[in-house]
């Protein structure tokens, strides 16, 4: 039904009402779309006065693009056909500036229902749109960010640990769709053991107490499979500071963990390959050194076969062989020290006393061109080391210093108080006035087989032996050098609060009762013959076996006072033999011979005694005497 015409008085009041509305543009259009009326709100929104705009087509408020698309005409047509047209879009003010408007157009009809014009209401919603647009864009960006992260499970928990949302990364990692986990407790991702131990609850408590919780641990997927996860939980608080939940980020780092393990394996393989390569590089130097030693031994042995050789020359050749064998043993010990397989005999010594006595030996070894001085500045320099290894280390350092001073120079060996890993220590500084070393050389000096000497003149084991000795003694070796100034090699050793071991007499054979029955077990024929002869020279009765199985058979046939066996043999080892004898004949003493460290022998030597190679009459007799005394099977 079409409304009746408004009385004049009411129309006047209505016009006052319309003009009082300043936040809305309220005006009328004729049938063609020309502005027929104008209110103060329209003036505020669009900038035109009534005199400027009445009679003009309302399309002047539209952008050029909207006019080109015939939007004004289309809006009037749709309003007439549908009874209403509403839209939001950019509109143009008088000054050409744009504002975003919400516009409504409704048809106006007379009493007969004839269309006579249009009522138009517009509102400037630019600020609201900017706020909404900014919020929408922020939410969109955040949503895209969260949902776009495929490598991380990002979701929220309420204060009790219930899952409240879920991203695509969480589905990719854990296998659940959002509708499968939202509303459930996050402990479903934990292993049974973790749930029994209350880990989920503890993680939330830790995050709330400390502001963060992070760990790497096993987590469970929907299909029950495990993955190694990096987990981060942060508490969420609202603007008032109230705790409202937790943000949880989980990454699947299984591949990273596997890759790390593979990397460690690869590093180990690479290290082994580097060792093999280094051993190959060492071959030339070691072969040269050993050929020199064998040449001396071979030549001396050949001369000793002559029946008419004077006694004086015979003694000299024997001394040459003994000295050469000692040098060969030293070279071998360098290799074993670096590989940590050389047997060591640590004892407590006073460094000040020991180095003072060793200084005389060094002086003769270095020659007249080097002025050696030894200074003891450390107080109570008691350390626990293998004296032979210490002397070898000092000798190696001194020889390197001599080689760095081809025209002669000064060498100072000095002890001083120091600290290592927070504990009292004593340092041995070996300082020369030689040519010095570059930083590149210093970076590699402790590497095995590294040498700056010509091929065949050095094995590259001197400084690595020093490094190995210091490490085995619980200390460290350091080096400082300046070109054309000199080098200081420092060996730092932990101090011990024990009295130095008394010096033992050397060169004497321990007394062994005549006729001691020894079962000798050795699979190397040359060593077997040598050991048999040595034992016989010591007054023992010897029966030989080529392996452990043969030895066990001999033990079934007769009785012995002692079993002397090599450790490394084909088939049953000396350790295996000692273990069996410990069960079958627990009272039978066993002497084990090895070139490795006693620590590598293990429990097999618990009731045995270990004799270190190379051995001679002195060490063998002492070991036999000690073993027999300990077992109590024989008297004096």
Residues 353, 324 share a domain: no
Q: Give the residue from 296, 314, 338 where a domain finishes.
A: 338
Question: Per the structure block, which two tokens stand in for 338?
Answer: 């670096």
Question: Per the structure block, which two tokens stand in for 36?
Answer: 């027929």
Q: What is the pLDDT of residue 512?
A: 86
Contacts of 76 (CB under 8 A, 6+ apart): 29, 33, 85, 105, 118
Is the Cα torsion angle 510, 513, 515, 520 positive or negative in sign?
Answer: negative
Q: Residues 505, 516: contact at Cβ < 8 Å?
A: no
- Indicate left, alpha or beta for 161 from its phi (over 0: left) and psi (-120 to 50: alpha): left
Q: What is the pLDDT of residue 503?
A: 47
CATH of residue 275: 1.10.287
pLDDT band at 452 (very low <50, low <70, confident <90, very high): low
Residue 243 has pLDDT above 80, yes or no: yes
d(C-alpha 372, C-alpha 393), whole Å: 16
Contacts of 222 (CB under 8 A, 6+ apart): 174, 175, 176, 180
Residues 247, 284 share a domain: no
Going from the C-alpha of 66 to that of each of 22, 84, 123, 385, 519, the distances in angstroms are 26, 19, 18, 96, 114
Q: What is the pLDDT of residues 62-76, one digit of tens each?
A: 999 999 999 999 999
pLDDT band at 439 (very low <50, low <70, confident <90, very high): confident
Residue given tokens 């000092």 in the structure block: 394
DSSP H or E segment with residue 493: strand 486-494
Q: Give the residue from 319, 338, 357 where a domain finishes.
A: 338
d(C-alpha 85, C-alpha 79), whole Å: 5
Summarize the confidence of residues 579-590 as an average pLDDT.
88
CATH of residue 104: 3.30.450.20
Number of domains composing the chain: 5
- Strand 517-521 and strand 562-566: the pairing is parallel
Contacts of 190 (CB under 8 A, 6+ apart): 199, 200, 219, 220
Q: Which residue has the higher pLDDT, 443 or 196?
A: 196
Question: Per the structure block, which two tokens stand in for 524?
Answer: 């190397």
Contacts of 618 (CB under 8 A, 6+ apart): 506, 507, 508, 509, 510
Summarize the confidence of residues 104-118 as an average pLDDT.
91
d(C-alpha 508, C-alpha 625), whole Å: 13
Q: Residues 268, 244: contact at Cβ < 8 Å?
A: no
Instruction: Report the residue count for the chain.
Output: 636
Q: Judge whether 31 lies within some domain.
A: yes
Residue 492 has pLDDT above 90, yes or no: yes
pLDDT band at 143 (very low <50, low <70, confident <90, very high): low
pLDDT band at 184 (very low <50, low <70, confident <90, very high): very high
Burial 563-585 (b: 16+ CB within 10 A, else e): bbbbbebeebbbbebbbbbbeee
Contacts of 384 (CB under 8 A, 6+ apart): 346, 347, 348, 349, 473, 494, 496, 498
Q: What is the pLDDT of residues 510-567, one digit of tens each?
A: 788 888 999 999 988 878 888 898 899 889 999 999 999 999 999 999 999 999 999 8
Q: Judge whether 290 lies within some domain.
A: yes
Q: What is the pLDDT of residues 555-568, one digit of tens each?
A: 999 999 999 999 88
- Strand 590-594 and strand 609-612: the pairing is parallel
Burial (CB < 10 A; 0-12, 13-18, 19+), residue 247, is middle
Going from the C-alpha of 61 to that of each of 55, 92, 200, 570, the distances in angstroms are 13, 5, 62, 105
Residue 603 has pLDDT above 50, yes or no: no
Q: Which one, of 396, 381, 390, 275, lies nearest residue 344 by Cα? A: 390
Question: Per the structure block, which two tokens stand in for 273?
Answer: 């390959």
Q: What is the DSSP letter of 5?
A: P
Q: Which residue has the higher pLDDT, 600 or 266?
A: 266
pLDDT band at 636 (very low <50, low <70, confident <90, very high): very low
pLDDT band at 451 (very low <50, low <70, confident <90, very high): low
Q: What is the pLDDT of residue 221?
A: 93
Instruction: Annotate 91-112 with DSSP letters as a single string.
Output: EE-TTS-EEEEEEEEEEEE-TT
d(C-alpha 79, C-alpha 105), whole Å: 6
Q: Which one, of 393, 405, 329, lies nearest residue 367 by Cα? A: 405
Single pTM value for the model = 0.37
pLDDT band at 235 (very low <50, low <70, confident <90, very high): very high
Q: Which one, of 502, 369, 487, lies nearest residue 434 by Cα? A: 487
Q: Judge whether 135 lies within some domain.
A: no
Residues 423, 401 share a domain: yes
Beta bridge partners of 99: 91
Burial (CB < 10 A; 0-12, 13-18, 19+), residue 386, is buried
Backbone angles phi, psi at 305, to 5 degrees: -75, -20
Q: Which one, of 291, 341, 342, 334, lies nearest residue 449 by Cα? A: 334
Residues 582, 611 share a domain: yes
Q: In the sheet that 243-252 helps form, which strands lie side by side, from edge to edge? A: 152-157, 243-252, 226-237, 213-220
Q: What is the pLDDT of residue 48?
A: 93
Q: Which one, of 294, 290, 312, lies nearest residue 302 by Cα? A: 294
**CB count in 10 Å sphere of residue 172:** 14
Residues 206, 95 share a domain: no
Q: What is the percent of the chain with per-residue pLDDT over 90, rounded to a whole number? A: 32
Residue 214 has pLDDT above 50, yes or no: yes
Lowest mean pLDDT among 31-40, 294-303, 377-386, 572-581: 294-303
Q: Judge whether 503 lies within some domain.
A: no
Residue 2 has pLDDT above 80, yes or no: no
Q: Judge whether 260 lies within some domain.
A: no
Residues 362, 476 share a domain: yes
Residues 20, 40 share a domain: yes
Residues 357, 485 share a domain: yes
Q: What is the pLDDT of residues 317-347, one digit of tens each?
A: 787 777 777 667 666 665 555 454 455 667 8
Residues 239, 187 share a domain: yes
Max mean pLDDT among 107-116, 254-263, 290-299 falls in 107-116
Q: Judge whether 380 lies within some domain.
A: yes
**CB count in 10 Å sphere of residue 428:** 26
Q: Judge whether 487 lies within some domain.
A: yes
Q: Judge whether 1 lies within some domain.
A: no
Q: Which one, of 236, 196, 235, 203, lies nearest residue 217 by Cα? A: 203
- Strand 213-220 and strand 152-157: the pairing is unpaired
Residue 600 has pLDDT above 80, yes or no: no
Residues 156, 108 share a domain: no
Summarize the confidence of residues 396-413 as an average pLDDT.
86
CA atoms within 13 A on the CB side of 263: 6
Q: What is the chain's mean pLDDT, rounded?
A: 81
- CA angle centred on 462, ends 460 and 465, rounded to 5°: 115
d(C-alpha 611, C-alpha 596), whole Å: 10
d(C-alpha 467, C-alpha 488), whole Å: 14
Residue given tokens 């229902």 in the structure block: 113
What residue numbers bound the domain in which 326 lies? 269-338
CATH of residue 392: 3.30.565.10
- Strand 590-594 and strand 562-566: the pairing is parallel
Q: What is the pLDDT of residue 345?
A: 67
Residues 443, 395 share a domain: yes
CATH of residue 614: 3.40.50.2300
Q: What is the pLDDT of residues 417-438, one digit of tens each?
A: 999 888 999 999 999 998 888 8
Q: Give the residue from 494, 526, 549 where a domain finishes.
A: 494
Residue 132 has pLDDT above 80, yes or no: no
Q: What is the pLDDT of residue 615?
A: 79
Residues 359, 484 share a domain: yes
């Amino acid at each position: 039904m079409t409304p009746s015409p408004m009385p004049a008085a009411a129309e006047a009041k209505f016009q006052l009402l319309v003009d009082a509305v300043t936040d809305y543009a309220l005006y009328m259009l004729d049938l063609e779309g020309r502005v027929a009326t104008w209110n103060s709100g329209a003036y505020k929104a669009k900038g035109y006065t009534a005199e400027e705009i009445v009679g003009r087509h309302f399309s002047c408020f539209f952008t050029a693009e909207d006019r080109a698309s015939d939007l004004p005409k289309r809006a009037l047509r749709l309003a007439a056909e549908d009874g209403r047209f509403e839209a939001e879009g950019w509109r143009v003010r008088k000054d050409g500036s744009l504002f975003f408007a919400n516009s409504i157009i409704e048809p106006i009809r007379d009493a007969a229902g004839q269309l006579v014009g249009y009522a138009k209401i517009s509102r400037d919603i630019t600020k609201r749109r900017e706020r909404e647009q900014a919020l929408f864009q922020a939410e969109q960006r955040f949503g895209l960010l969260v949902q776009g992260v495929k490598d991380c499970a990002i979701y929220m928990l309420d204060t009790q640990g219930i899952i409240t949302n879920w991203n695509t990364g969480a589905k990719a990692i854990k296998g659940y769709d959002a509708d499968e986990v939202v509303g459930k407790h996050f402990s479903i991702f934990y292993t049974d053991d973790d749930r029994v131990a209350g880990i989920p609850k503890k993680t939330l408590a830790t995050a709330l107490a400390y502001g963060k919780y992070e760990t790497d641990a096993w987590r469970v997927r929907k299909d029950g499979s495990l993955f190694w996860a990096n987990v981060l939980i942060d508490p969420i608080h609202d603007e008032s500071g109230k705790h409202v939940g937790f943000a949880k980020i989980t990454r699947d780092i299984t591949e990273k963990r596997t890759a790390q393990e593979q990397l460690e394996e690869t590093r180990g393989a690479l290290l082994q390959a580097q060792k093999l390569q280094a051993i190959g590089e060492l071959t030339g130097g070691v072969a040269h050194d050993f050929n020199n030693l064998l040449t001396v031994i071979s030549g001396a042995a050949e001369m000793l076969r002559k029946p008419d050789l004077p006694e004086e020359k015979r003694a000299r050749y024997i001394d040459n062989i003994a000295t050469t064998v000692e040098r060969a043993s030293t070279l071998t010990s360098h290799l074993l020290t670096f590989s940590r397989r050389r047997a060591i005999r640590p004892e407590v010594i006073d460094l000040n006393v020991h180095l003072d006595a060793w200084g005389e030996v060094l002086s003769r070894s270095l020659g007249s061109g080097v002025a050696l001085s030894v200074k003891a500045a450390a107080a109570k320099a008691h350390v626990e080391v293998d004296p032979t290894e210490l002397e070898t280390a000092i000798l190696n350092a001194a020889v390197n210093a001599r080689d760095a001073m081809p025209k002669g120079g000064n060498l100072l060996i000095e002890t001083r108080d120091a600290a290592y890993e927070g504990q009292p220590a004593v340092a041995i500084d070996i300082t020369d006035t030689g040519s010095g070393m570059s930083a590149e050389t210093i970076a590699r000096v402790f590497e095995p087989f590294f040498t700056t000497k010509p091929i065949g003149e050095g094995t590259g084991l001197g400084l690595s032996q020093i490094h190995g000795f210091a490490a085995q003694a619980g200390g460290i070796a350091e080096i400082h050098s300046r070109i054309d100034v000199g080098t200081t090699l420092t060996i730092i050793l932990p101090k011990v609060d024990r009295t130095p071991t008394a010096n033992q007499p050397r060169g004497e054979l321990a007394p062994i009762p005549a006729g001691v029955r020894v079962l000798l077990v050795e699979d190397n024929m040359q060593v077997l013959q040598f050991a048999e002869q040595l034992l016989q020279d010591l007054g023992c009765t010897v029966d030989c076996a080529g392996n452990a199985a043969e030895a066990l058979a001999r033990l079934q046939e007769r009785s012995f006072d002692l079993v002397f066996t090599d450790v490394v043999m084909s088939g049953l080892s000396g350790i295996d033999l000692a273990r069996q004898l410990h069960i079958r004949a627990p009272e039978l003493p066993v002497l084990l011979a090895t070139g490795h460290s006693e620590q590598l022998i293990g429990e097999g030597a618990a009731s045995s005694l270990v004799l270190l190679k190379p051995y001679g009459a002195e060490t063998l007799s002492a070991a036999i005497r000690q073993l027999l005394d300990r077992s109590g099977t024989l008297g004096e």
